[in-house]
Homo-oligomer: A and B are copies of this chain.
Amino acid sequence: MSNNQFKRGELYSVINGMASTAVARRLQKNFRQAGLEITIEQWSVLYHLWKEDCLSQQELCNRTFRDKPSITRLIDNLEKQKLVKRTASQTDRRINLVCLTDAAKELQSQTIDLANQTMNEALVGVTKDEIETVKQVFQRVYDNLT
């Protein structure tokens, strides 16, 4: 038995990611209470577009760790809500560039404030070093499996 193997009874918390689920739920709730009608999955797409606008769907797949059908439907829903718009690329007609609308740009600061607030609530009593360790382990696990 390897040195770092989880005991069976502890496996679940890792597989299920209960902590990140709890964060997501709380953030969703905070959005709703602020009258924002977006899901946190939609928000996570907008988040990457705020960093760099007009990405291809494939690029959004890479950055959000989602597969193509998931992104297709998230973009469908964001388009219905008039938060993004698909535009065919001039140079490669296979590619859709996904660009923010003005309405989406207005959401940025408000939702990022809510996200930061939520993280502050979540991380009460957690040290900087511990956060650093969690991030490193996450990255390592992700790299190990992909």
Q: List the interface of chain A (C-beta within 8 A of B).
A: 2-6, 8-27, 40, 44, 47-48, 51, 64-65, 112, 115-116, 119-128, 130-131, 133-142, 144-146
A138 to B130 CA separation, bound complex (whole angstroms): 11
Residues of B within 8 A of A2 (CB): 120, 123
A132 to B142 CA separation, bound complex (whole angstroms): 18
Copies in the complex: 2
Which residue of chain B lies nearest to A3 when distances are taken between CB atoms in the complex?
B128
Whether B12 contacts A142 by the Cβ 8 Å rule is no
Main secondary structure of the interface of A (DSSP, over half): helix
A12 to B66 CA separation, bound complex (whole angstroms): 13
Instruction: Please give the distance in Å from A52's CB to the nearest CB on chain B.
Output: 12
A24 to B116 CA separation, bound complex (whole angstroms): 27
Instruction: Please give the distance in Å from A37's CB to the nearest CB on chain B.
Output: 18
Which residue of chain B lies nearest to A13 when distances are taken between CB atoms in the complex?
B138
Whether B142 contacts A4 by the Cβ 8 Å rule is no
Residues of B within 8 A of A124 (CB): 140, 144
Whether A17 contacts B21 by the Cβ 8 Å rule is yes
Known A-B contacts A44-B12, A125-B140; A134 and B131 likewise in contact (beta carbons under 8 Å): no
